[in-house]
Amino acid sequence: MDIKNEVLYRIYILLFGIVVPVSIALIYRTVEISVVEGERWRAQGRDNYLEYRQVEADRGNITAEDGSLLATSIPYFDLYFDPHSASEEEYQKNLDTLAQCLATYVLKDYTAGGAREFLQSLRKAADRHVILKRKASYAEKKFIEEFPLFRLGRFRGGFIAEKRSERKRPFGLLAQRTIGYVRDKAKPVGLEGQYDTLLGGMPGKQLMIRVDPREDLWMPVDDLTVIEPETGSDVVTTLDIDIQDITEEALVRAMNAHDAEWGAAVVMEVETGAIKAIANLGRTDEGWWETYNYAVGAAIEPGSTFKSASVMALLEDGFVDLDDSIRIYNGRAQFYEDEMVDASPYSAKMDTIRMREAFFISSNVGIATMVQDHYGEKNKANGNEGAARFIKRLKQFNLNLPTGIEIDGEANPYIKEAYSDKDYWSGTTLPWMSIGYEMKITPLQLLTFYNAIAKGGEMMKPYLVSEIRRFGETVQRFRPTVIDRRIATRPTIAKIQELLVSVVEEERGTAHKLQSNRYTFAGKTGTAQINYRRGSRGTSIGGYQASFVGYFPVEKPKYSCIVVINKPRRGGFYGGDVAGPVFREIADNIYSAKVELHAPVNLGPRPVLVGNDLPAYSIGDKEDMKTVFRYLDIPFYGDPETPMVVTRAQSDSLILEQRTMPDDRVPNVVGLGLRDALYTLENRGLSVEIEGFGKVAQQSLLPGTRIRGQSIRLILR
């Protein structure tokens, strides 16, 4: 046999004697494991599956401009017990005391004996992830983890604390829709949605074992994470808690008073465009709720508040001036097949008025007639641009553009293109558009336009977020952004400002009854018909929408504000009756709350004191009186020997005169403050009862009555 054949024989022996039988055995075992025993092994694999899973990061806070928390994450813990972690010796050693602790503080439906039996049954069962308590606070978690056995830790004592977090709003419904939310299987909303990536941080990773495939429960294998979670950043808003509260309270009262469908109010800082308050309320089965951000997302026909834009276009083109005479046809005018009627009671008595009067009485016919005369079809026939020129002016005012506010959901404004078949342009479109119909704009977009008027023509971008912070340090700051340096010429802006003031200050102005003697404000009322249909038998109306938009104080505008109330069902429907009072209430309370709106009392020369202005016939402790007068720099004379004194005015000074208080008889305490009256009467053994506030106006015992420990009643006013 040659060497070659010998090698082949050995290979055959190796192949058929070892390789083939082993291969057959492996194939057989593979089939047996995958088919015959497959389900058992798959179940065991599911029960003991290890995986690196995400660890939730702490979500950042959303705060108001002063740092007040608008949204924050509150940590809580789901507490579990693995009864198979501890050794049998440790388990039995701690069983009784652990049962007592659990029955007392956690498993309150169990007695100590019942808890002991429960723990014994767990030891015999296969479950390694038994729930003890859900949503335990950090303090509860720290307390429970010190129980017997649990204090040995996760791996020797079986105590498992799984951290969760719940988003909370410390101020409840305040700015609820603006703050928004991020939820599973729902579109992110508001600031929570817009800044979700920054707020959410970066999740970590940790090796976990699946302990219950039926409920997809996972338990960490150890206490260490492979990748530590990165805490989210904080978002600092421009919202002012005081102004937000003022705005929401005023809007709620109006919604209740007028039984409206929905309402929105926004307050903006004129200089920067920062949103200081934004409130939205809609009707639900549970009452008023912020179900939708109407201020940002509701594009609506604004009605008469749009007349400012129409008049600005006329002024900018030089077609009219404030004192020009215009026809209003006694409040009725025909535009092609449709008749326009004024709501103002003054219109029916006049055929011709000045342009400024047409504005402050809000004459639909007056404004529409001017616009139709200067931009209508006849102008186009003469080679002019006609209505296209009017639309061009509206675009110059940026009324065709969204504001670009940070939160999603802003509706686009709708301004028809002149003579466009696609936009259903008709002969009546121009006059009706001039008074706020056949076009749409959101409350925030309209407020941005009025804010530009208040700022002298410079249009600011509204914004809600001023900073992004990490661990208290600013990492990104958002500055005010100018949309347009000048939306109209200075003379035009000055004239429209004058007209907006006249709406409030002129006796026939639609907001005249709203004016304040504490500060000045300017604005425009609006009353729009909604769900209307114009037909051969007239116009059917599905309701009204009341609005008011303006700014204050006029001399140096600080805040602009818009209020829109949709479908008021009682208490009127005109803008001056429904939305105007809400604006006034908001402005009143902001003016009271914000010291910077008040002129300093020492700005002018100090007035000369006269007797009528001095606190004559005031009674009190002599030393207290002297201290007060020195602090106020009021000249005074006299140094009576009695502890109590009474003041008498003389020219520009005060004279201190003695006020005698007998020790054994009831003294006259009328005119004293409460502290001095109590000191005087109780030191003489009298029991004092008090009613009212202020200084003593009456006393029940006559002065001079002998003291015998009586009770005396003081009436304060």
pLDDT at 381: 57
For the stretch 650-697, pLDDT in tens is 777 788 888 888 888 998 888 888 888 888 899 888 999 998 888 888
CATH number of the domain enclosing 212: 3.90.1310.10
Element (H, E) at 254: helix 241-258
**Binning pLDDT at 50, 70 and 90, where does residue 272 land?**
very high
Return d(Cα 220, Cα 206) in angstroms, integer. 7
In a domain, 468, yes or no: no
Gap between the Cα atoms of 175 and 170, Å rounded: 11
Q: How many angstroms separate the CA atoms of 48 and 63, rounded?
A: 44
Judgement on whether residues 587 and 645 belong to the same structural domain of the protein: no
Q: Which CATH number do you get for residue 316?
A: 3.40.710.10
Same domain for 557 and 651, yes or no, is no
The rounded Cα 7 to chain-centroid distance in angstroms is: 91
Q: HSE (CB half, 13 Å, CA atoms) of 567?
A: 12
Q: Distances from the Cα of 362 to the Cαs of 291, 304, 350, 508, in angstroms? A: 33, 7, 14, 10
| pLDDT for position 455 | 97
Which one of 575, 597, 619 terminates a domain?
Answer: 597
Q: Is residue 472 part of a domain?
A: no
- Residue 129 banded pLDDT, cuts 50, 70, 90: confident
Residue type, 616: A
Instruction: Find the helix or strand (DSSP H, E) in which 583 lies.
Output: helix 580-593
Considering the domain architecture, whether residues 266 and 403 belong to the same structural domain is answered as yes
pLDDT digits 0-9 by tens, 130-139: 888 888 888 8
Q: Tell whether 78 and 187 lie within a shared domain.
A: yes
Q: How much is the pLDDT for 630?
A: 87
404 pLDDT higher than 60: yes
In the prediction, which pLDDT does 162 show?
A: 79
Q: pLDDT at position 123, please?
A: 84
Domain with 642, as residue range(s), is 607-657
Residues 512 and 621 in one domain: no
Q: Which string of DSSP letters, residue by residue, matches 646-670? A: EEEEETTEEEEEE----SSB----T
pLDDT at 611: 53
Give the separation between CA 228 and CA 224, rounded to whole angstroms.
9
451 shares a domain with 390: yes
Q: Is residue 105 part of a domain?
A: yes
The total domain count for the chain is 5
* pLDDT at position 385: 81
Q: Are residues 12 and 58 in the same domain?
A: no
Last residue of a domain, one of 237, 267, 292: 237
213 and 250, same domain (yes or no): no
* CB 330, CB 473: distance < 8 Å: no
pLDDT value at 213 more than 60:
no
436 & 568 share domain: yes
Report how far residue 88's alpha carbon sits from residue 101's, in angstroms, rounded to the nearest whole number: 20
Alpha-carbon span 672 to 681, nearest angstrom = 11
Q: Is the pLDDT of residue 242 over 90?
A: yes
Average pLDDT, integer, range 9-28: 72
Q: Which range, 433-437, 635-639, 708-712, has the best average confidence (pLDDT)? A: 433-437
708 or 205, which is more confident? 708
Q: Which residue matches tokens 């504005």? A: 359
In a domain, 466, yes or no: no
- Could you give the C-alpha distances from 234 to 64, 74, 203, 406, in angstroms and in order? 11, 14, 16, 16
In this predicted structure, the answer to whether residue 44 has a pLDDT above a threshold of 60 is: no
* Residue 92 located in a structural domain: yes
Instruction: Express as a percent the part of the chain with pLDDT over 70.
Output: 88
Average the pLDDT over each of 105-109, 208-212, 464-468 and give the range with the smallest value.
Answer: 208-212
Mean pLDDT of the chain: 86
Which one, of 633, 629, 609, 607, lies nearest residue 618 by Cα? 629
Is 602 contained in some domain? no
Looking at per-residue confidence, does 207 or 327 come out higher? Answer: 327
Whether residues 180 and 214 fall in one domain: yes
Q: pLDDT-derived band of residue 55, with 50, 70 and 90 as boundaries?
A: low
Q: Is residue 409 part of a domain?
A: yes
Report the C-alpha gap between 473 and 443 in whole angstroms: 35
- For range 165-174, the mean pLDDT: 82
> Does 579 reside within a domain?
yes
- Same domain? For 311 and 212 the reply is no
User: Which pLDDT score, from 0 to 100, does residue 569 have?
Assistant: 93
Whole-number pLDDT of residue 145: 87
Q: Looking at residue 684, what is its pLDDT?
A: 87
Last residue of a domain, one of 215, 237, 259: 237
List b or e across 210-222, with b for residues whose CB sees 16 or more CB atoms inside 10 angstroms: bbeeeeebbbbee
Sign of CA dihedral 364, 365, 369, 372: positive
Q: What is the CATH number of the domain that holds 676?
A: 3.30.10.20
Q: Which of 150-159, 474-483, 526-535, 601-610 has the highest mean pLDDT?
A: 474-483
Residues 423 and 568 in one domain: yes
- Cβ atoms 453, 316 nearer than 8 A: no
Most confident of 115-119, 270-274, 378-382, 653-657: 270-274
